[in-house]
Amino acid sequence: MIIAIASGKGGTGKTTLAVNLARAFDADIQLLDCDVEEPNAHLFLPAEPRERTVVTMPIPEVDARLCDGCGECARVCRYNAIVGAGAAPLVFPELCHGCGGCAYICPRKAIREVPKRIGVIETFRSGKIDLVHGRLDVGVAMAPPLIRAVKDRRRNGAPAIIDAPPGTSCPVVAAIQGAEAVVLVTEPTPFGLHDLALAVDLVRAFRLPFGVVVNRAGSGDDRVRLFCAREKIPLLAEIPDDRRIAEAYARGALIVEALPEYRAGFLDLRAKIEGLRREVAA
Amino acid sequence: MKIVFSTSGDNLDAPLDGRFGRAPKFLVYDLETDACEVVDNLQNLQAAQGAGVQAASTVARLGAAAVVTGHCGPKAFRVLSSAGIKVYTCAAPTVGAALALYREGKLLEAQAADVEGHWA
């Protein structure tokens, strides 16, 4: 089963949930850290990288000798990454999404795609967890191609947990696509609720089964709970606002190891997530 | 010779818009005939990215020889200069005031972008 852990708001506990869920699973599982702008799951699963691979994306290169300046390439690019200005078009690699449309449409075959490095993928093994994460190069803004490259490492049929980036924009879409269930982690604050509502709209647009986990429950108010009841969203679990959890986190320790009394809660959560998928299938 | 001004209005009394790529409109002024035309930039105003690039390409299509605006970023500047279009940045309050400065030769041609670009 592929479970994506997402949230609207950042810092609600996606990674905390992802690493603890993976550890509580206690069988071979892949953890795909798709927060490629700041991957951090490895901080909780200490291990040396086993493998490092450079990831590139294709960007256009124009052969000015073949170009007749027809401007078809610029017309087809909705990201304004290639623009005709009289003679041969100018390319702006930092705006390119790598779709290849310009090279495809060029009647003179004057455009070829060349690889541009955007980051690396690193893999780690910690106990029964195979961690794969992407790390975007500094100065690169195009996260989705690297996120897709991380997800391409998923072994068919093997259980996987995807740690998604925060927000509700393209990188999140790239991360949650193909998941069989999505867990939205939030906190019981007005900010948590506001961004949770945006994330709910997103997963509903993709028709993915989903539920909510409230982290630091008891630290804020009731509004997230009321929202979930009103919207008929399953509240899968509440992680209490327990100082010992924060202390374990600060040490880079897993909750399920430092505070074994929470282990049962994570196993129960896992069962409920699997139930989400069954409900939809039924 | 045509000269393009970034603006939010429709005539010479309208404010000169400080932004180039995301200016709501462009006023195209013909120095020979004193005729002006207003071109909408709404599409680029709402673009997710590359507004400056597209705006520069619009200006090139209009056949302008110069742009007068508040600021110009690196990508727009690259497109404009490769199309041989001169860039003048100034803080004139209105299009008319900027035009007067241009006619008096008081505008300095920009040799590079004067603000940083945006990634996306």
Distance from CA of B13 to the nearest CA of A (A): 31
Beta carbons within 10 angstroms of residue B35's beta carbon: 10
In a domain, B108, yes or no: no
In a domain, B110, yes or no: no
Of B78, B119, B120, which has the smallest distance from its Cβ to A90's Cβ?
A: B78
Residue B120: the pLDDT is 44
Whether A1 and chain B come into contact, CB under 8 Å, resolves to no
Residue A149: the pLDDT is 97
Top CATH class of A56-117 equals: alpha beta
Of B56, B75, B120, which has the smallest distance from its Cβ to A141's Cβ?
A: B120
pTM: 0.86
The domains of chain A are located at 2-54+119-281, 56-117
ipTM at complex level: 0.79
pLDDT confidence tier of residue A26, bands split at 50, 70 and 90: confident
Q: Do B120 and A83 touch (CB under 8 A)?
A: no
- According to DSSP, residue A254 is labeled -
Using the predicted structure, report yes or no on whether residue A56 has a pLDDT greater than 60. yes
In a domain, B79, yes or no: yes
Domain extent, residue B97, equals 2-103
In a domain, B63, yes or no: yes
In a domain, B97, yes or no: yes
Provide, rounded to the nearest whole percent, the portion of chain A with pLDDT above 90: 90
Strand partners, B98: none
Residue A271: the pLDDT is 94
Long-range contacts of B72-75 (CB under 8 A, 24+ apart): B72/B20, B72/B110, B72/B113, B72/B114, B72/B115, B73/B20, B73/B21, B73/B113, B73/B115, B73/B116, B73/B117, B73/B118, B74/B112, B74/B113, B74/B116, B74/B117, B75/A92, B75/A95, B75/B50, B75/B117
What is the token pair recorded at B38?
A: 């207003």
Q: Do A81 and B48 touch (CB under 8 A)?
A: no
Whether A79 and chain B come into contact, CB under 8 Å, resolves to yes
Query: Residue A88's closest chain B neighbor by CA?
Result: B82
Top CATH class of A2-54+119-281 equals: alpha beta
Q: Quick check: do A2-54+119-281 and A56-117 share a fold?
A: no
| Contact predicate B30/B5, CB 8 Å | no
> What total of structural domains would you count in chain B?
1
Of A79, A81, A83, which has the smallest distance from its Cβ to B57's Cβ?
A: A83
In a domain, B111, yes or no: no
Chain B contact set for A83 (CB, 8 A): 50, 53-54, 56-57, 79
The domain spanning residue B98 has which CATH number?
Answer: 3.30.420.130
Query: How large is the average pLDDT for residues A98-126?
Result: 97
**Amino acid (one-letter) located at B106:** K
Query: How large is the average pLDDT for residues A7-19?
Result: 95
Residue B119: the pLDDT is 54
